[in-house]
Chains A and B, each alone.
Chain A
Amino acid sequence: MPFKFWKHLAIGLSLTVGMSAAHAEKVTVAAAADLKYAMADVVQTFEKAHPNDKIEVIYGSSGKFFTQIQQGAPYDLFYSADIQYPRDLEKAGQAGGKVAPYAFGRIVLWSPVMDASKMTLESLTNPEIKHIAIANPKHAPYGKRAEEALKAVNVWDKVEPKLVYGENISHTAQLVDSGNAQVGILALSLVLTPQMQSKGKYWLIPDNLHDPLEQGYVLTKRGENNAAAKAFAAYMSSPEARAVMTRYGFVLPSSAK
């Protein structure tokens, strides 16, 4: 008797699980730290339209995600801050779809204590400024572009002793936001968030001073057969999602479908 009971329970449970899997799908997205707020908005509207699907987003540095995915991390989609990482995954045969650009990032000068809108990169040599935060150029795409821009206007040598390095772009923003660095070179998408917009002003760094921050995404091998992951990727290039991305200061590739 008890055996039969357990057997029925087991069958019942597996049926329930199997059925719910068929109806609702869970998608795990690894997204660059600069997408933190824009992506949250997009996910919200997507889940409203697809009540059966659950999108879970993990934010972090693109380089770390790249390494993790290579080691079999359970992400279905990878939205990188640098399109190079998804391309390298594709080259290594670890992509479950085609690599495509989804946005271009912009860098800005931002400060909670000075009027950054009246500053330029040359103003950073001002001796009143003791610390300038940028993301670590060694591995963070936003840090690389910041370094390029500072070199392009020939202030790198003067400014370098004042630089402090954030682990990724949102950690860099914290270093400035907490007042420990007076100025930072941050992602436009972060300073346009309500949290930061009220605290300081920004100056948009001309994009001819640095290589483009071309951001790309790819479906991973794991997400290859996840219909919800594909639906979400498609939604990211819908007019609604593009409007959100534009609102957060991303420039969008016109070719994206």
Chain B
Amino acid sequence: MSLLLTAEDWQTIGLTVKLATTVTFCLFVIGTPIAWWLGRTRSRFKGPVGAVVALPLVLPPSVLGFYLLLAMGPYGFIGHFTNWLGAHSLPFTFWGLVVASVFYSLPFMVQPLQNAFEAIGDKPLEAAATLRASSWDAFFTVALPMALPGFLTGGILTFAHTVGEFGVVLMIGGNLPGETRVASVQIYDHVEAMEYASAHRLSAVMLVFSFVVLLGLYAWRPNPKKA
């Protein structure tokens, strides 16, 4: 059953899912401490850090793509760093897309987590402390389970947002099959080449997928006021 999609189309879908999964995992690791700090701190840097995290919500993908193209290139600071590590340069690679998407989807992970951590408040953690739980212990046995809905929301939003990426990927990806040619870019190419039938089929898959993801998210949270 090919659903009338070509092998190339399926490859782009597979790559999209792989990218979104990798990015979601990376952002669980990176986003949690940032969200925890933002949710608990009274530091005067809370505002500026929160604003930086939220930047990708406002910045056009072209700005992010442009900066990343220069920063990751051989003359950019990320490029110098990967060079120093002896690694390949990042543009035109899957891992380059991962790095770009981690920046691009950061607020979609951090903000739900931060809300969840803030909603817990001080009391449960103070209670855990009086029971002599270490702060790590309290984090893993009290805060994490209580913030689980936040993790689910953050995970789904990050995954979905990465699937929906286009501009940044187009600018730094180099459109390589199996490496950087994700479904959104493939659809763009179909349209540009006037292969409307192929564009329709792949677009329909994306449409159904996006709807199902969002339906799952909203059905799972029947009362948003409570969350």
Q: Spell out A's residues near B (CB within 8 Å).
A: 61, 63-64, 66-67, 131, 133, 136, 138-139, 164-167, 171, 174-175, 178-181
Contact = CB atoms under 8 A, between A and B. Distances in A.
A166 B194 CA distance: 18
Contact of A180 (B72, B170, B188, B194): B72
B176 interface: yes
Contact count band on B: 20 to 34
Contacts of A139: 189, 192-194
B112 interface: no
A179 B74 contact: yes
A171 B171 CA distance: 8
B192 A61 contact: yes
B91 interface: yes
Nearest to A164: B174
A134 to B, nearest CB: 10
Contacts of A138: 189, 192-193
Nearest to A171: B171
Interface in B41-93: 69-70, 72-75, 89, 91-92
B192 A63 contact: yes
A178 B70 contact: yes
Nearest to B177: A165
A138 B8 CA distance: 14
Nearest to A70: B194
Given A138-B193, A180-B89, A174 B175 contact: no
A76 to B, nearest CB: 22
A252 to B, nearest CB: 28
A89 B54 CA distance: 45
B174 A165 contact: yes
Contact of A174 (B69, B72, B176, B189): B69
A136 B175 contact: yes
A74 B119 CA distance: 51
A175 B191 CA distance: 22
Interface in B167-189: 170-172, 174-176, 188-189
A47 to B, nearest CB: 28
Given A175-B69, A179-B73, A180-B174, 4 more contacts: A61-B192, A64-B192, A67-B194, A131-B174
A35 B73 CA distance: 27
A61 B171 CA distance: 15
A231 B170 CA distance: 37
9 contacts: A67-B192, A138-B189, A138-B192, A139-B193, A164-B176, A166-B175, A175-B174, A178-B69, A180-B73
